[in-house]
Amino acid sequence: MLTVVSGTSEAEVLCGLLRSAGIKCAHRDTEAIDSPLEDFMAAGAQEILVHQSDLEAAKELLPEQ
């Protein structure tokens, strides 16, 4: 796991950035979904996943926090 972002839109943007740099990426719901709509749609925090071999390069692309 690279990082956790606030939602699906942010996850898509970050994965797009990673993919443009040649890093394969995926995202999934975290265990901590706190939306009342969680039974109806994906909502809440998303984990950003990359291959272990790409982890350091991916960290360098993360925006400053």
Residue 56 has pLDDT above 80, yes or no: yes
Cα separation, 52 vs 33, in Å, equals 25
- Residue 50's domain comprises 3-61
**DSSP calls for 49-60:** EE-GGGHHHHHH
pTM for the predicted model, two decimal places? 0.78
The total domain count for the chain is: 1
Per residue in 8-53, pLDDT tens? 999 999 999 999 999 999 999 987 655 555 555 556 899 999 999 9
